[in-house]
Structure 1
Amino acid sequence: MVTLNRSYLYLIVLVMVWGSAFPVIKIALDYLSPFLIALVRVTVGGTLLLLVSRKLIYGKKEAISAVLNVGLFMILLNLGVEYSSNPGLTSTMIYTQPVFVTVLSRFVLRERLIPLQILGVVLAFSGVLISVGSTDFSIGSIIAILGGLTWAVGTIYHRLYLSDRDVVGLNTFMSLFSALLILPLSFVDSKFSLDPVGWGSTLLLAVTAQATGFLLWFKSVNMLGPVKASSAVLLVPVSSYLFSALLLRTAPTLLEGLGSSITLLGVFLTFLRPGTLRRSR
């Protein structure tokens, strides 16, 4: 019971940490470029993970995974927040990732889908259209959805080639390797300020969302299993909306709230696997 309570405590903190990251990114973007924020986040976060894990799992396949799951994903996430009216909406679009994983698994991994998963895909994309319809399908929403797709491709790649690797050592390498990808891009956007708010927000992201967040995630997965942990993490967009309201005084529109709810319901349904309902009876 103590272990179970602790695992849910880890998840609660994780949802708060990852949910608050989106409005914190929005704050940091007033002072620094999205590329520089990503660079500091992966470099500092990766270094902290290295101090904890004391190992690097590296290689060509690991480098490809780093580009997909961390480097490119982090850039798209920050750009999505920058060009979106509400960080909570960006979070919802990013968390369409399980929907893309479900679709890709059908065609790449030849996994069979149950009717509820197909319904989940339809609901998720319907919710996306409702959510972004209220903002005329802004470029930020498009970028965030691309971030979810990139994350999904990276997830499938990881499942195919890296599922046997030590996850902490692998993520340590992926964070640090991604810095090599992001570094030259950080010179593209010249936005730079010495204001402590910008740098404080960015360092907070590195410590909490990048380092602490991933450690909490791994602990939650080990204690509860990937399905339960992943389902609970769907509360991150809800947390993001709440923190956006607190930190930025930004409330979702009626359509954003309705569409995001439908999207998250659809995403939840995609977590179901053949036989899940039979086992639960």
Structure 2
Amino acid sequence: MRFRNATLFVVLAVAWGSAFTAIKAGLEYFPPVLFAAFRYDLAGVLMLGYAGYATDRWRPRSPNEWLLVGVGGAFMIAAYHAFLFVGEQGTTSAAAAIIVSLSPILTTGFARVFLPDERLTTLGIAGLLVGFVGVGLLSRPDPNNLLNARTVSMFLVFLAAASFALGSVLTRRVDADLPIETMEAWSMLLGAGLMHVASVAITESVSDVQWTGEAILALGYLVVVASAAGFLIYFDLLERLGPIEINLVSYAAPVAAAATGLAFLGETPTAYTAAGFALIVTGFVLLKRNAIRAEITEFRAYGD
């Protein structure tokens, strides 16, 4: 069982990490927000089909369940992916993945504000600060030119991570008993709709899409591998491992993003990329040290 879980964990990390490379490749052919919308048009339909197969609740019913979908669709799908796809135009796959790996740290910070039962210790606050220092080291903004394309792009990716983290906290405030598969499916469809509206608002057009083989391959990879298959593996591991261990995917994915970015796009990670990543991982460990310690204790007991 442990071997099976470890294998699925690696597969998920590769699927989600390589998604950043597929996004970067696809941005050569698609307007960014429209690209993200197309991804979740298709992924949402696939996920809805799976929800109908795997659960007895293929659609929300109560106002609270629709509110849950609304929060997930607006923050965790639409805002997250719109900012990410626009931001990744000006940075590398690995750098984007590393900034997104800040999400679990930001989630803890937002939880402190919106969930009264959550508390941050001194070491927890230190973890937040170390994570932010990691992003600063990775982005290295020029004080004399804070609006250069690279800095703005990384800031947009940071907004993507913050949107996802805020959405994950706000969904915990909604009292709704909706299967996660159903929530994800409807959130994807709603998020895709919102991104289509945003795409039109910023004057993107379907006529700007270049329907090449590479474009279709990038879109198909994001829909089938990163979204449909990735989320199915995620649901399985979430049930088997719990939220703490599954969060570690956020820190394995940048390694896959760096490897696939180097192999397929010629992106070479720098020393600043590695140092920023190390600081963000350190921040996560400081924040989640008690939960990680409990997981290690449980693992050792399982081995005995």
Same fold (TM over 0.5): yes
Going from structure 1 to structure 2, the CA distance change for 1:241 and 1:279 (only over 3 Å counts) comes to closer
Corresponding residue number in structure 2 for 1:179: 192
Distance change >3 Å, CA 45–CA 268, structure 1 → 2: farther
Kindly state the Cα deviation for residue 70 of structure 1 after the two structures are TM-superposed: 0.6
Alignment check: 8 A CA contact 2:138 2:272 kept? yes
Aligned mates of 1:144, 1:44 — CA distance in 2: 23
Match of 1:82 in 2: 89
Counterpart position of 1:221: 238
Matched ranges for 1:190-229 at <5 A? 190=205, 191-229=208-246
Could you say which residue in structure 2 is the equivalent of 1:234? Answer: 251
Equivalent residue number for residue 171 of structure 2: 158
Quote the offset at 1:63 in angstroms: 1.4
Give TM-score, length-normalised by structure 1.
0.91
Which sits farther off after the overlay, 187-196 or 131-140?
131-140
1:41 to 25, 39, 49: 39
The Cα shift of 1:208 comes to 1.2
Name the counterpart of 1:268: 285
TM-score under structure 2 normalisation?
0.85
SS in 1 for 2:254: helix
- The correspondence for 1:112, drawn from 111, 115, 119, is 119
- Amino acid corresponding to residue 56 of structure 1 in structure 2: R
Question: 1:28 matched to which residue of 2?
Answer: 26
Q: Do residues 143 (structure 1) and 156 (structure 2) align?
A: yes
> Could you tell me how far apart the structure 2 residues matched to 1:168 and 1:91 are?
24
CA-to-partner distance for each residue in 1:17-63, whole Å, 9 max, x for gaps?
A: 00000011111000111122111110111111122121133513321
Task: Provide the aligned C-alpha RMSD in A.
Answer: 2.2
Aligned equivalents of 1:163, 1:4: Cα separation in 2: 32
Gaps of 5+ in 2: 53-57, 299-304
Shift of 1:263: 1.5
Q: Cα deviation per residue 1:44-102 (whole Å; 9 max; x = unaligned)?
A: 11111122121133513321221111111111111121121x11101111121111111
What is the letter of the counterpart of residue 28 of structure 1?
Answer: G
Cα pair 1:116 1:272 within 8 Å, conserved: no
Q: Which moved more, 1:63-72 or 1:148-157?
A: 63-72
Deviation at 1:270, TM superposition (A): 2.2
* SS class of match (1:161): coil
Residues in 2 aligned to 1:163 and 1:237: alpha-carbon distance in whole angstroms = 33
Q: Which amino acid counterpart does residue 77 of structure 1 have in structure 2?
A: L
Check whether the contact 1:128–1:259 (CA below 8 A) recurs between aligned residues: yes
Q: What is the CA–CA distance in structure 1 between the aligned matches of 2:161 and 2:98, rounded to whole Å?
A: 9
- Kindly indicate whether the alpha-carbon contact (under 8 Å) linking 1:101 and 1:156 is maintained by their aligned counterparts in 2: yes
Contact 1:63 1:174 in 2 (8 A): yes
Measure the CA separation in 1 of the matches of 2:290 and 2:131.
17
What stretches of structure 1 of length at least 5 have no aligned partner? none
Offset at residue 274 of structure 1 (A): 7.3
Q: 1:60 aligned to 2:60?
A: no
Contact 2:244 2:291 (C-alpha < 8 Å) held by counterparts? no
Contact in 2 for aligned 1:113/1:274 (Cα 8 Å): no
Seen in structure 2, the aligned counterparts of structure 1 residues 24 and 274 have a Cα distance that, compared at 3 Å, is closer
Q: Number of matched residues? A: 278
| Matching residue of 1:101 | 107
d(CA) in 2 for partners of 1:112, 1:19: 31
Q: Conserved in 2, the CA contact under 8 Å of 1:113 and 1:273?
A: no
Closer, same or farther: CA 279–211 of 1 in aligned 2, 3 Å = closer
Partner SS, residue 184 of structure 2 = helix
Match of 2:267 in 1: 250
Distance 2:177 2:9 in 1: 24
Larger Rg computed on CA atoms: 2
